[in-house]
């Protein structure tokens, strides 16, 4: 696909500077603005709408996670608030990025991975604000285990009962096996939850041995308020399919099941995790990447233990980092598509619960680097958040 002639004015999109030194208020407007953030900046950022429809953005700026918000999608983002007062190595490259979710009483929860430059180490870090994001308590480390091991590709969600749920890829079992001279494929998926509004987290539990090492994990809320996870695992001899599980509270056992069966066998780091959105009927809408027969992005409805239903190949060569959102019977899919000229943000929409999708639409382009897109719901309306080297954009999916 070429992108010539596809540049458009997006009525509800804007860009602003990221990655600059200093934390002065950043320029923004209600239209696309091209502002240089420099090719050296990490593009890992997350956006979310809160219960009042306000847009929030967390991003990494040097050794700080910063938070901004806007009253509605058409107004500029405000002055950045520093989440971690004490500098630390914020991991915001590849599929790592700071996360933001909201508690039932308006708490603002931010999570990221701290990864020192040297060595295979890292910690999952978390900070909470109880004053609407004006200030944050000192960050805490979510993982109780302090063994020197890599941790990252974290995900964060709030359950229906207000529990804060966190999951991540953890290398501790690989380190231990190596020290014992035993083989161990990949890393492992660990999770925990906070029942006190993010003030503390229970000791983490292992969900599954042999996760993929470097693909983002994802969490989604079930109709009953529970939280499910979908992530890439390693099956047999380096088969990189995906696992699904509902994350149990307390000491209840988890039931993890293989949920994709593409049989992509490779001793490699795809750096390409899946997406999951669960509708009011419990249908598990998912997107994922595999390359058994060449690069492919799939949509499907998970049927754990079996091949997903309504499988649809939505992207081939040059397609990457898909996301999915659902509201009622409407399902949106977004992904990056590259060609020699640069990046296009692609969108497909289904109005029958993911059984059929309209043709792909190009809703934004960038000639410079672009991060993974995120689909955000504001009521029944879907927006795409897209962080590019020219700035952050919020794109109204219905305006195209």
Partner 1 sequence: MRRWIFLALLTLAIPALAQTPMLQPLAASDIPALLKPPAHGTRIIAIWALDCAYCEANMQTLAKVVEAQPDRYQLVTVATDRYALHAQITARLTTMHMNAYPARAYAEASPEHLNFLLNPQWGGETPRTELIRADGSRLGISGELTPAQLRRIR
User: Does residue 393 bind partner 1 (CB under 8 A)?
Assistant: no
Give the shortest CB-148-to-partner 1 separation in angstroms: 16
Residue 328 CA from chain centroid, whole number: 22
- 298: β partners: 288, 313
Give the shortest CB-38-to-partner 1 separation in angstroms: 8
User: Does residue 139 bind partner 1 (CB under 8 A)?
Assistant: no
- Joined together, the tokens standing for residue 26 give 């950043």
Name the residue nearer to partner 1 (CB basis): 12 or 15: 15
By CB under 8 A, the residues from 70 to 89 that bind partner 1 are none
User: Does residue 362 bind partner 1 (CB under 8 A)?
Assistant: no
User: Does residue 320 bind partner 1 (CB under 8 A)?
Assistant: yes
Q: How far apart are alpha carbons 275 and 230 in whole angstroms?
A: 7
Query: Interacting stretch for partner 1, rule CB under 8 A, among 79-87, 201-209, 219-227, 338-346?
Result: 338-346
- Joined together, the tokens standing for residue 295 give 């690069």
Q: How far apart are alpha carbons 162 and 341 in whole angstroms?
A: 45
Q: How far apart are alpha carbons 4 and 303 in whole angstroms?
A: 40
Of 6, 268, 311, 355, the one binding partner 1 by CB under 8 A: 268
Name the residue nearer to partner 1 (CB basis): 221 or 367: 367
**CB under 8 Å to 370, separation ≥6 — which residues?**
43, 336, 342, 343, 345, 386, 387, 388, 389
Contacts with partner 1 by CB under 8 A: the residue count is 39
Query: Interacting stretch for partner 1, rule CB under 8 A, among 48-56, 97-105, 302-310, 335-343?
Result: 335-343
User: Does residue 20 bind partner 1 (CB under 8 A)?
Assistant: no
Of 176, 266, 307, 399, the one binding partner 1 by CB under 8 A: 266
User: Does residue 94 bind partner 1 (CB under 8 A)?
Assistant: yes
| CB of 2 closer than 8 Å to CB of 341 | yes
**CB under 8 Å to 364, separation ≥6 — which residues?**
8, 10, 13, 344, 345, 384, 386, 393, 395
- Joined together, the tokens standing for residue 142 give 């979510």
By CB under 8 A, the residues from 217 to 246 that bind partner 1 are 238
Of 214, 228, 334, 395, the one binding partner 1 by CB under 8 A: 214
Name the residue nearer to partner 1 (CB basis): 143 or 211: 211
Give the shortest CB-5-to-partner 1 separation in angstroms: 19
**What is the β-pairing status of strands 242-246 and 140-141?**
unpaired
User: Does residue 114 bind partner 1 (CB under 8 A)?
Assistant: no
Q: How far apart are alpha carbons 382 and 328 in whole angstroms?
A: 12
Of 5, 250, 340, 379, the one binding partner 1 by CB under 8 A: 340
For Cα atoms 164, 115, 197, give the angle at the middle one, nearest 5 degrees. Answer: 15
Element (H, E) at 179: helix 172-179
By CB under 8 A, the residues from 33 to 72 that bind partner 1 are 39-43
Contact residues toward partner 1 (CB under 8 A) are 39-43, 93-94, 117-118, 186, 213-214, 238, 266-272, 289, 291, 294-295, 317-318, 320-321, 336, 338-340, 342-343, 368-371, 389
């Amino acid at each position: 696909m070429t992108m010539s002639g596809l540049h458009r004015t997006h009525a509800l999109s804007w860009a602003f500077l990221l990655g600059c030194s200093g934390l002065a208020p950043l320029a923004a407007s209600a239209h696309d603005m091209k502002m240089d953030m420099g090719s050296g900046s990490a593009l890992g950022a997350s956006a979310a709408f809160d219960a009042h429809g306000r847009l929030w953005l967390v991003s990494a700026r040097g050794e700080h996670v910063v938070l901004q918000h806007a009253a509605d999608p058409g107004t500029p983002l405000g002055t950045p608030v520093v989440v971690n007062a004490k500098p630390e190595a914020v991991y915001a490259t590849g599929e790592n990025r700071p996360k933001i979710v909201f508690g039932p009483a308006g708490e603002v929860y931010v999570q990221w991975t701290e990864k020192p430059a040297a060595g295979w180490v890292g910690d999952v870090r978390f900070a909470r604000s109880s004053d609407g994001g004006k200030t944050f308590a000192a960050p805490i480390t979510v993982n109780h285990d302090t063994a020197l091991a890599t941790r990252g590709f974290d995900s964060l969600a709030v359950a229906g009962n207000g529990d804060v749920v966190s999951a991540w890829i953890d290398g501790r079992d690989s380190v231990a096996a190596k020290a014992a001279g035993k083989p161990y494929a990949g890393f492992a998926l660990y999770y925990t939850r906070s029942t006190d509004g993010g003030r503390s987290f229970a000791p983490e539990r292992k969900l599954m041995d042999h996760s993929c090492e470097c693909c983002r994990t994802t969490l989604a809320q079930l109709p009953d308020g529970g939280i499910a996870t979908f992530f890439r695992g390693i099956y047999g001899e380096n088969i990189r399919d995906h696992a699904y599980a509902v994350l149990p509270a307390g000491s209840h056992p988890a039931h993890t099941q293989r949920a994709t069966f593409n049989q992509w066998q490779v001793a490699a780091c795809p750096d390409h995790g899946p997406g999951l959105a669960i509708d009011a009927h419990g249908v598990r809408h998912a997107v994922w990447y595999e390359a058994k027969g060449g690069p492919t992005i799939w949509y499907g409805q998970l049927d754990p233990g079996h091949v997903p239903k309504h499988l649809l190949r939505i992207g081939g060569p040059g397609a990457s980092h898909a996301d999915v959102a659902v509201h009622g019977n409407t399902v949106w899919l977004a992904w990056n598509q590259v060609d020699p000229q640069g990046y296009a943000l692609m969108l497909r929409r289904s109005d029958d619960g993911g059984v059929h999708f309209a043709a792909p639409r190009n809703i934004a382009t960038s000639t410079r680097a672009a991060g993974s897109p995120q689909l955000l719901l504001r009521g029944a309306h879907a927006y795409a958040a897209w962080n590019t080297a020219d700035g952050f954009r919020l794109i109204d999916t219905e305006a195209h």
